[in-house]
Amino acid sequence: MGNFYTNERNVQIVLFLLKANGIKKVVASPGATNITVVASMQNDSFFEMYSAADERSAAYIACGLAAESGEPVVLSCTGATASRNYMPGLTEAFYRKLPLIAITSSKSSSMIAQLVAQVTDRTSPPSDVVKRSVLAGIVKDEDDEWDCMIKINQALSTLKQNGGGPIHINLETTHSDDFSVEKLPKARIIKCITGYDKFPQIPSGRIGVFIGSHNRWTDEESELLDRFCASNNAVALCDHTSNYKGKYRVLFSLPLSQDNYIPKLSQFDLLIHIGEVSGEYSGLNCLQVKEVWRVNEDGEIRDTFHQLTHVFDMSESNFFEHYIKWDTPMSDSFLTSYKEEYRRILNKMPEIPFSNIWVAKQLAPRLPESSVLHLGILNTLRSWNFFEIPDSVLSYSNVGGFGIDGCLSTLIGASLVHKDKLYFGLFGDLAFFYDMNVVSNRHVGANLRILLINNGKGVEFRNYNHQAAQFEEAADAFIAAAGHYGNQSPELIKHYAQDLGYEYLCASTKEEFEQVVSRYLTSEITDKPILFEVFTNTEEEKKALKMVRSIESDSSMVIKKALKNAVKQTLGEKAIEQVRKTFKN
């Protein structure tokens, strides 16, 4: 049997992506740890290989090759101190912006600092030696493979970002002796497109623009997205942090979060990803996407949907302007279908219990024009994403770090900018109490409106579809953190708010809510800031979420889920996973 490629999957990914990017020049230094990668290259006539026994000299040889040829050059060395000798040459490459790829082979990173021979720590190279350093770890499962593929693509894309420069790939090895792989298995190629590159052609089929959390849009930016959608029969998938208010906005959470129904509208041939983090979990999980293009001036690979193929290192405006088909008649058939689907499911929504979702349904369409909305993460944000708000209302949530700390403070900081504008904030009790000290800040203005959903715990952990649901009431003690902060005391926040100069409102039923909500929503700036406390309970919160996510149902999905659960209970999760792998292979 002849020698071909190693069976080490991480090495295969590196080789495939080097070849896909046309990178063929290699300066290899001798060693044992890098045998799997060097021998695989040696067995492939694509690679143009040179040998250098001294790693310091090898790096400078690579500098000369790169500068003279204008091509990227690969360096390969073994473990121990070999990689340290690359530093002078890589420093030269860094300041000359030469595209060197230092592949330093190593044993498992778990051996670092464990007194294992020939293992050195390469996790923190000096800042002016390489522009990016990544670990291509040993691949044991699909997640490892995805991680390796992303990191190698990220590193290779850095070769030409911001003028270019050297990169580092620390390549782990198991010292495999198996070189029987005759053809390199494919790996996903993620190409970085700048304004100087040839733009790929938009595929035919369903096109969507997924907008994560996004800063305020200018009129020009919004108009360009409108024109792009019109000329490509596309829709813009939004949640309340997206802040796009143009014609092609669709609020996707309600139709895409149904437990037993997946609409055909969730299928996209191309999804263009703009903006930052989205807190709309359920909709993300339901989308079925063939290909994703990310557009962002940071030029970074962010593979949120695990289908990324292109990153456009440019402004959104430049991207959309390029793909507007000016001579094509405008069409909005996809938009019409999407909005009809949303309205159809919304109109079927039953009367839901008094809960965070019920409050969102009442308040969302009635918010005063041109006000600003801030939402607590997870349960509150999800509840509001089911319902549209007025076009003139901008909305935000702390989805960047996605923690409960700081939600109130962010709201109050925003409210200080425009004293003549109303700022609404809605938060669960854990988020509120976590940040309640800011309520007493002396700069708080009368334009502030806080609504506290007080259910006495982190009710998210008691929802029917949460991992902690299996513990039922036992989850309250330490998972859902029940019983803190006055244990739904009807007096605690009332006195706190009133003593701090707030107008206090409260409700424990739908009837009580309706009696005072008009005061909370008044479009006039009142004499005092308003704090509205709404008391709900766990069972009604759980029931409301399940009802909203069970509006539409596909009988075939229900049957499949029942069969899957039956098999899982009989065979167990490990057996199911083994069967899945068997069929995949």
- Say if 191 falls within a structural domain: no
For 153, residues 6+ apart whose C-beta sits below 8 A from its C-beta are 17, 188, 189, 190, 301
404 with 543, same domain: the answer is yes
Residue 325: predicted pLDDT: 82
| 4 occurs within a structural domain | no
Residues 480 and 577 in one domain: no
Q: Please report the pLDDT score of residue 311 as a whole number.
A: 97
pTM, full prediction? 0.91
Task: Please list the rounded mean pLDDT of every run of 10 residues in the chain (585 residues).
Answer: 88 98 98 96 97 97 97 95 95 97 92 80 89 97 97 95 94 95 96 92 95 95 96 95 96 94 92 95 84 96 96 96 80 92 96 98 98 95 97 95 90 97 97 95 97 95 92 94 94 97 98 98 97 97 97 72 59 60 51
Structural domain contains residue 194:
no
By the 8 A CB rule, do 3 and 143 touch? no
CA distance 452 to 433: 10
The domain spanning residue 462 has which CATH number? 3.40.50.970
Is residue 65 packed enough to be buried (19+ CB in 10 Å), middle (13-18) or exposed (0-12)? buried
Domain end among 330, 347, 364: 347
Write down which residue in 329, 347, 365 finishes a domain: 347
Structural domain including 223 reads 207-347
Q: How far apart are CA 396 and CA 425, in angstroms?
A: 9
Task: Identify whether residues 542 and 563 lie together within a single domain.
Answer: no
Q: Is 272 helix (H, G, I), strand (E, B) or coil?
A: strand
H or E element in which residue 475 lies = helix 475-478
Q: Are residues 338 and 442 in the same domain?
A: no
The answer on 413 and 340 residing in a single domain is: no
Per-residue model confidence as pLDDT tens digits over 132-150:
999 999 999 999 999 999 9
Q: Is residue 461 part of a domain?
A: yes
Q: Are 131 and 167 in contact (CB under 8 A)?
A: yes
Q: Which residues of 353-364 are buried (b: 16+ CB within 10 A; e: fewer)?
A: bbbbbbbbbebb
Q: Are residues 422 and 322 in the same domain?
A: no
**Bridge partners, 435 (sequence order):** none
pLDDT of residue 281: 81
DSSP string computed for 380-443: HHHHHTTS---TT-EEEE-TTT--STTHHHHHHHHHTT-TTS-EEEEEEHHHHHHTGGGGG-TT
Together in a domain, 173 and 236? no
Question: Minimal CA–CA distance to 175: which of 122, 217, 118?
Answer: 118
Q: How is residue 331 written in tokens?
A: 């069409």
Residue 197 belongs to some domain of the structure = no
Contact at 8 Å (CB) between 322 and 232? no
Residue 310 lies in a domain: yes
| Buried-exposed string 263-302: b where 16+ CB fall within 10 A, e elsewhere | bebbebebbbbbbeebbbebbbebbebebbbbbbeebebb
Q: How far apart are CA 412 and CA 398, in angstroms?
A: 13
Claim to verify: residue 282 and residue 249 sit in the same structural domain: yes
With beta carbons less than 8 A apart as the criterion, state whether 233 and 332 touch. yes
Query: Residue 580 and residue 186: Cα distance in Å, rounded?
Result: 21
Q: Are 520 and 449 in contact (CB under 8 A)?
A: yes
Classify residue 200: in a domain, yes or no. no
State the amino acid at position 333 in one-letter form: S
Q: How many domains does the chain have?
A: 4
Query: Among candidates 415, 414, 446, which has minimal Cα distance to 529?
Result: 446
Instruction: Mark whether 525 and 560 lie in a shared domain.
Output: no
In this structure, the answer to whether residues 219 and 75 fall within a common structural domain is no
Shared domain for 444 and 577, answered yes or no, is: no
Query: What's the pLDDT score for residue 558?
Result: 58
pLDDT confidence of residue 581 = 56
Tell me, yes or no, whether 199 lies in a domain.
no
Are residues 422 and 374 both part of a single domain?
yes
Q: Find tokens 């006539």 and name the residue.
A: 45
Going by C-alpha positions, the residue among 396, 367, 374, 379 that lies closest to residue 241 is 396
